[in-house]
Amino acid sequence: MRNLNEDTITQAVLARHVDAPSPRLKEIMTSLVQHLHSFAREVKLTEAEWVQGIEFLTQVGHITDDKRQEFILLSDTLGLSTLVTAMNHRKPPSCTEATVFGPFFVEGSPDYQNGDDIANGAQGEPCFVRGTVRGTKGEAIPHAKLEVWQADADGNYDVQYKGDHGHRARGTLYTQDDGGFHFTSILAEAYPIPHDGPVGRMLTALNRHPWRPAHLHFMIQAEGYETLVTHVFRDGDQYLDSDAVFGVRSSLIAQWVRHEPGATPAGTDSATPFYTLDFDFVLNPKN
């Protein structure tokens, strides 16, 4: 088609996709083009604004590397990650809810035994975490794989530090025969997402803060059950109602209980105050 204009361009683009070999790709691209063109028409997008948008996405790509995923931050802060998660992880009410994956998961975190200290030198007050993994009928799930990761007291994940400091506040362990697990880590603290890049500048322009409420990340896998990716949030945190990435669920908020120096759940004595967190997970069986 020649002599295209603002009224005919959308259909012309869609016509080019008519022979796409994948029906699903054709469906996605058709809707994407329609919505993008409708967006441009609705806001009367100027050339200068479109160039600025391209420059923004280019900057997002440039800052992304194997330790920092700015595109995930962008998806998270626009609520898209939460929307996709909610649509794809509908579960019975008894199941633990899923939430956003986040940009700081690392494949192959070190293996630990139950009772070990996964902090591995990360800065923060001691915290003893324990709980169970069960199915919807209350059955214990033994040997479920738990991958756990969190930020330290300074609000940084291990991969954000320069140099090779090893994995800290991150690890993999497995539930015991009764579905139970327990490990030592550090107290979860609120922290800002990385905001020294294009996503941070976007938040500033929108008068939004970059803070996340204190939480622990969990990914739990077990044979015969759906994989669960979730957080456990610290009750009382000031950012629970304004999480920069929209990840909070009421059912995922738990108490971190403070204890004075003395005997710990690990059978040791602590010379400083410490915390305990108890949280049970319920996995959804696969169909």
Both tokens assigned to 189: 């603290």
* Res 1: pLDDT: 62
Same domain, 96 and 236: yes
Same domain, 109 and 210: yes
Same domain, 22 and 81: no
Cα 40 from Cα 54, distance rounded (Å): 14
In a domain, 65, yes or no: no
Cα 109 from Cα 170, distance rounded (Å): 6
Both tokens assigned to 103: 């940009």
Same domain, 79 and 192: yes
Cα 169 from Cα 216, distance rounded (Å): 10
Same domain, 115 and 246: yes
Same domain, 230 and 117: yes
Same domain, 199 and 97: yes
In a domain, 37, yes or no: yes
Mean pLDDT, the chain, rounded, equals: 95
- Number of domains forming the structure of the chain: 2
In a domain, 254, yes or no: yes
pLDDT in tens, the chain (287 residues): 678 999 999 999 999 999 999 999 999 999 999 999 999 999 999 999 999 999 999 999 999 998 789 999 999 999 999 999 999 999 999 999 999 998 889 899 999 999 999 999 999 999 999 999 999 999 999 999 999 999 999 999 998 888 777 899 999 999 999 999 999 999 999 999 999 999 999 999 999 999 999 999 999 999 999 999 999 999 999 999 999 999 999 999 999 999 999 999 988 899 999 999 999 999 999 98
DSSP 79-95: THHHHHHHHH----TTS
Same domain, 197 and 108: yes
Same domain, 40 and 96: no
Same domain, 25 and 150: no
* Res 10: pLDDT: 96
CATH number assigned to the domain comprising residue 214: 2.60.130.10
The residue segments making up the domain with residue 145 are 74-283
Both tokens assigned to 11: 């259909």
